Structure 1
Amino acid sequence: MRLSGAAANRFFARPEPDRAGLLIYGADPMRVALKRQEVIAALIGPEGEAEMRLTRIAASDLRKDPALVGDALRAQGFFPGPRVVFVEDATDTLATVLKDALADWSAGDAMLVVTAGSLNKSSALRRTFEGHANAYAAGIYDDPPSREDIEAELVRAGLKEISRDAMTDLHTLARELDPGDFRQTLEKVALYKLGDAAPLSSEDVAACAPATIEAELDDVLHTVAEARTPDVSPLVRRLEGQGITPVSLSIAATRHFRALHAAASAPGGAAEGIARMRPPIFGPRRERMLRQAQSWGMQRLETALSILTDTDLKLRSASRAPAMAVMERALIRLAMLNRH
Structure 2
Amino acid sequence: MKLSPREAARYFARPEPDRAGVLIYGPDAMRVALKRQEAIAKLLGPNAEEEMRLTRMGAGDLRGDKAALTDAIKARGFFPGPRVVFLEEANDGIADTVIAALGDWQPGDAQLVVTAKQLTPRSALRKGFESHPNAYAVAIYDDPPGRDEIEAMLAKAGLTGIDRAAMGALTDLAGQLDPGDFRQTVEKLSLYKLGDAAPLTPEDVAACAPRSTEAEADELIHVVAEGRMTAVGPLLQRLEAQGVTPVTLCIAATRHFRALHAAACDPAGPAQGIARLRPPVHFKARDRMVRQAQACGVARLEQALGLLIDTDLQLRSSQRAPQMALMERCLIRLARLVAPRS
Report the TM-score, using the length of structure 1 for normalisation. 0.63
Inter-partner Cα distance in structure 1 for 2:283 and 2:139: 30
1:193 matched residue in structure 2: 193
The alpha-carbon deviation at position 181 of structure 1 amounts to 1.0
Letter in 1 for 2:17: P
Inter-partner Cα distance in structure 2 for 1:251 and 1:160: 38
Deviations 1:289-327 (A, max 9, x none): xxxxxxxxxxxxxxxxxxxxxxxxxxxxxxxxxxxxxxx
The alpha-carbon deviation at position 94 of structure 1 amounts to 1.2
The alpha-carbon deviation at position 213 of structure 1 amounts to 5.7
When residues 77 and 211 of structure 1 are mapped into structure 2, their CA distance, relative to the original with a 3 A threshold, is same
Tell me the SS of whatever aligns to 1:64: coil
The alpha-carbon deviation at position 6 of structure 1 amounts to 2.0
Inter-partner Cα distance in structure 1 for 2:30 and 2:192: 24
The answer to whether 1:277 aligns with 2:271 is no
Letter in 2 for 1:188: K
When residues 249 and 115 of structure 1 are mapped into structure 2, their CA distance, relative to the original with a 3 A threshold, is closer
Q: Identify the range of structure 1 (45-54 vs 129-138) with the bigger mean alpha-carbon deviation.
A: 45-54
Deviations 1:17-56 (A, max 9, x none): 0000000000010010000000001111121111111000
1:11 matched residue in structure 2: 11
- Counterparts of 1:320-335 in structure 2 under 5 Å? none
Letter in 1 for 2:168: T
Inter-partner Cα distance in structure 1 for 2:68 and 2:93: 15
The alpha-carbon deviation at position 183 of structure 1 amounts to 1.3
2:77 matched residue in structure 1: 77
Letter in 1 for 2:90: A
Inter-partner Cα distance in structure 2 for 1:63 and 1:171: 43
- Counterparts of 1:57-206 in structure 2 under 5 Å? 57-206=57-206
Structure 1: runs of 5 or more not aligned:
215-245, 253-274, 280-340
Q: Identify the range of structure 1 (203-212 vs 135-144) with the bigger mean alpha-carbon deviation.
A: 203-212
The alpha-carbon deviation at position 13 of structure 1 amounts to 2.1
- Counterparts of 1:311-326 in structure 2 under 5 Å? none
When residues 83 and 212 of structure 1 are mapped into structure 2, their CA distance, relative to the original with a 3 A threshold, is same
Inter-partner Cα distance in structure 1 for 2:51 and 2:237: 58
Deviations 1:261-305 (A, max 9, x none): xxxxxxxxxxxxxx94349xxxxxxxxxxxxxxxxxxxxxxxxxx
Tell me the SS of whatever aligns to 1:127: helix
Inter-partner Cα distance in structure 2 for 1:125 and 1:114: 10
Deviations 1:159-213 (A, max 9, x none): 2211111111111111111111111111111222223222211111111001126
The alpha-carbon deviation at position 250 of structure 1 amounts to 11
Inter-partner Cα distance in structure 2 for 1:73 and 1:174: 37
Letter in 2 for 1:68: A
When residues 161 and 124 of structure 1 are mapped into structure 2, their CA distance, relative to the original with a 3 A threshold, is same
Inter-partner Cα distance in structure 1 for 2:132 and 2:198: 47
Tell me the SS of whatever aligns to 2:114: strand
Kindly name which structure, 1 or 2, has the bigger radius of gyration based on alpha carbons. Answer: 1
Letter in 1 for 2:95: A
1:24 matched residue in structure 2: 24
Deviations 1:100-130 (A, max 9, x none): 1111101111100000001011110000000
* Count of matched residue positions in the alignment of Structure 1 and Structure 2: 227
2:50 matched residue in structure 1: 50
| Segments ≥4 residues shifted beyond 4 Å | 246-252
- Counterparts of 1:220-259 in structure 2 under 5 Å? 247=234
Q: Identify the range of structure 1 (185-194 vs 18-27) with the bigger mean alpha-carbon deviation.
A: 185-194
Letter in 2 for 1:90: A
Inter-partner Cα distance in structure 2 for 1:104 and 1:165: 52
The alpha-carbon deviation at position 135 of structure 1 amounts to 0.1
